[in-house]
Structures are given as structure tokens and as C-alpha cells.
Structure 1
């Protein structure tokens, strides 16, 4: 083996030119004491457009080459926008504003209904001629029941969002007048003092239940089966009471039926109030404000009727 076949020395190989014009190899070993390795310098970035789409800005598939930092351009959403704020901003506030407007609309319609009902009850309570005429003609009383039931069924069937003004409001006005007339005829059989006491109790109960439903974490809308059972209990108790009282009047049975009805419809008021809030298991659509006002109105009037029977029987 000749001397030319031997490999070159380390110093000669380090300073000699390499094939392919590669840059010189980095020095071996650790960096000097007190110095830190410098990060590699990146070359100039290629021109980027305002949005990185596949096949644009010189990047294959819309991604920068290896070794370059990846950045999301302005205007593009992140992979999970919910994790940024903790909730979907925009949709939450929009739905909240719509729900608040829906609640205000429901209570405005309910206030108009209650004003009409209180006015009709006042006429049947304070005008002696109307009061005596209703007592002498019980057919008017039963007619109001029929009109109330038929109008209520029509309103329940037409509560969808496609059937709006004016038919819903016309039926709602007819139903309010029928319910007010029925309540007035019932009030004409009781003393004026009992009517005033019942109005005060009903107003207090409704205000307390409404405030409780807006503040509590108890979800009444998840107890649908319980409310069905309570409705059946009220119906069966009413049938038994009507049969027994038709043969002989039993005061304690009448008071028991009135107490059960008042308690059950108070729970119904809590259930229908939470349907308006929207943050429970079940909720009404913002388009169903007529049906929401109708449900609250029926509950309040039924509470008044049952409490009136309870107060009237106890006063007698």
C-alpha cells in the first residue's frame, strides 16, 4: 500500500475542500464554558397571502415546510373556539337576548289577560243586578264552561309558530273573555269579602312562585311524569266530589278538593314558569309566547277559583 492510499490527516481533512460544496462540519465536542449554542437562523419567508388556503402561497397543501413556525392567519377560526372563551360567544348572548324579549312579551300578554279578568270579576261581584241574574240563570254558568273548554282546545292545537297574528290573538281574546266570564259567575256565588281575600292570596302566591322559579336550581320541567299523576289525582278527586256533593253536601270534602286543586295548580304554575326561562331541561320556543301566556293565565285563574272555594267554604 502506497502512502497516497492512506487517509489524510485530521487537520488536512478538516481544511480541505469537500465534494458537493457542502458547508464545513460543525466542531465536535461541547460548546465552551459560559457560551450557549445559537439557534439556527431561518431564511427569508416566502410571500404569504392574507389567508392560507391549500395550494396557495407556495406551500404544498397550504402548510409551511418543515422547520418553519406554523402560524394561523388572522380571520381564520381556531380548531376549537369553545375552549378559547369557555362558551360560544355570540350565540349565547344572542339566545339570551331573544329569551328575555320572549319573557317580556309573555308577561305583557298575561298582564292584559289578568286586567280583563279582574274587571269582569269586579262587575259580577259589585253589581247586584248582574249577580242576581247569573244566580237565577245557571245555564249561563254552564255555557261559559263549554266556551272555555272549546276555545282552550283550539288554542292548544294552534300554538305552532306558523299560525301567528291575527288568529292566535283572536282565539286568545275569546278564551280570555270566556275564562273571565266563568270566573265571574263563580265569584257571584261567594261573598265580596271572600273574593277580596282570595285575590290577595292568589297575587301573593303567584309572585312568590315566580321569584322562586327564577332563583332556584330545582328543575320542575324534568318532573313531567309527576305532573301527569297530579293532574289525574285532581281529575279523579273532582269526579268523586261532584258525585258525592250532588247527593249530600259535605263541607270537609269540598275543602279537601279545593286544597288539592290549589296545591297542584301552584306546582303547574312553577312548571310553566320554568318553561319560559330556557335554561332547564324543557323550554318553550320564542315563537310560542301566546301559548306561554295562556298556560300561566290558566294556572293563575285556577288557583284563584280553588282558593275562592276554600275561603268561601271556611267562611260559611
Structure 2
């Protein structure tokens, strides 16, 4: 088994997966950096969403005025627009963090507006279940990677599943199929983003380069947020 000696501590370090050629210390430092960024993103999301939910005039403005509707549409598309300059400046500090902050805040505002019209019990159930699933899948992926399992094969399947999910959502928008179909959509979305959490965590362990910390953070953050929204959809339909 490959072992790398830590020069500073003098102790042996266990590789994260078989045939690992890089220093485990460097990869662990990269992983800690990613999870630190994602944690800050999630805390910022909770703070922004809590303000939107707590201050009722905000949600009323967005729900009852044409200006609010237009701003809501802007908030939904802004995160995707920000990803375009982020693709060019993801290595440029501090521009990359500034763009990441805009991406996170605008998406958090949209999440907050979704939660504003949802009961507190449903939000709590979805949040607790999301946290449990994310922690469980993350631990499982690290455990499986240590034993030589590779989840790179999930990429093409998940991409195809996302395409099907988008078509499903478009059908729901133009031809609503009822409450049962909404729950089916939520279940499909939850399963898909559970797969993405495993896939992106595996990439974090094995494939992302050290300069890809912004993209790795965005990927994991979107996986978690989308899983939460999928579970929220299921619980809202069942409530």
C-alpha cells in the first residue's frame, strides 16, 4: 500500500483511495477548503432565507406585484448568469469570491421566497432530512473511495436524468398533472441529487485540481440546495 511520509510531523499518511499518487496532506487540505467554503455558503443561505421568511412584506411584495414578479424572475436567472463570468475568473482572487457571493445570495433569496409560502414544519422536516442525507452520503463516499470504489461512471447517467427532469418540469408548467405528479417529480429530483452528491464528492476526492476549488464548492452547494428543494416539494405536496 502506498504511504506518504509527512515531512513536518514525521508520521505516515494513509492515501484516500488505492493507487493515490499525490500527497494525502495536500488533498485533505483541499477538501477542508471546499467544505469550509460550502459551509459559509449554506450559513449565508440560511441567513438570507430566514430574513425573507421573517419579514413578511418582502414575500408579499414579490407575490402580489408585477414589479416583484419581475424581480423574482431576475433572481432566478441571476445565479446562472453569474456562472458565465465565474468560468473565466474562477482562479482570480478576490473576484472569484465576489462572484461566488453574488451567486449564493441571489440563489438564497430565491430559496427564501420558496420557503416563505411553506409551513415551518415542512421546512424543518426538509432541512433535517437534507442534513442527514448529505452527511450519510458524504461519509459513505469517503468510505467507499478508501476501498477502491469509483463513482465516475455516474456522470453520464446523472446528466441524462437531469435532462429528463427538466422535461418533466416543463410538462408540469404547461400541462399540470396534479399533486401525485408533483410528488413523483420531487422523488425523482431527490434521487438524482443524492447521486450527484456521491458523484461530486468522489470527484472532490480524486479528480478536482487544486485550482478548481470554486467549481467544486459550487457543485456541492447546488447538490445540497437542490436536494433540499426536492424534499421540500415532496413534503409540501404531502402536507
Query: What TM-score comes out, normalization by structure 2 length?
Result: 0.85
Structure 2 residues without counterparts, runs of 5 or longer: 7-19
* Equivalent residue runs for 1:1-316 within 5 Å: 87=2, 95-136=23-64, 137-159=68-90, 163-216=91-144, 217=147, 218-245=149-176, 250-278=178-206, 283-315=207-239
Question: Is the 8 Å Cα contact of residues 231 and 264 (structure 1) preserved in structure 2?
Answer: yes
Question: Is the 8 Å Cα contact of residues 194 and 312 (structure 1) preserved in structure 2?
Answer: yes
* Cα distance change, pair 88–123 in 1 and its aligned pair in 2 (3 A): closer
Deviates more, 1:306-315 or 1:104-113: 306-315
Question: Is the 8 Å Cα contact of residues 124 and 184 (structure 1) preserved in structure 2?
Answer: yes
The aligned length equals 220
* Aligned alpha-carbon RMSD (Å): 2.0
| Structure 1 residue 87: Cα displacement | 4.4
Query: What TM-score comes out, normalization by structure 1 length?
Result: 0.65
1:138 match: secondary structure:
helix
CA distance in structure 2 between the partners assigned to 1:287 and 1:119 by the alignment: 28
2:211 match: secondary structure:
coil
| Structure 1 residue 254: Cα displacement | 1.3
- In our comparison, the structure showing a higher alpha carbon Rg is 1
CA distance in structure 1 between the partners assigned to 2:87 and 2:201 by the alignment: 17
* Cα distance change, pair 88–307 in 1 and its aligned pair in 2 (3 A): closer
Deviates more, 1:116-125 or 1:89-98: 89-98
| Structure 1 residue 206: Cα displacement | 0.7
Structure 1 segments of 4+ aligned residues over 3 angstroms from their partners: 86-94, 156-159
Deviates more, 1:173-182 or 1:236-245: 236-245
Once the two structures are superposed, residues 145-197 of structure 1 have per-residue CA deviations (whole angstroms, 9 ceiling, x without a partner) of 111110123324544xxx32111111101101111111111111211221111
Deviates more, 1:102-111 or 1:228-237: 228-237
Structure 1 residues without counterparts, runs of 5 or longer: 1-85
Once the two structures are superposed, residues 109-143 of structure 1 have per-residue CA deviations (whole angstroms, 9 ceiling, x without a partner) of 00100000011111122222223222223222211
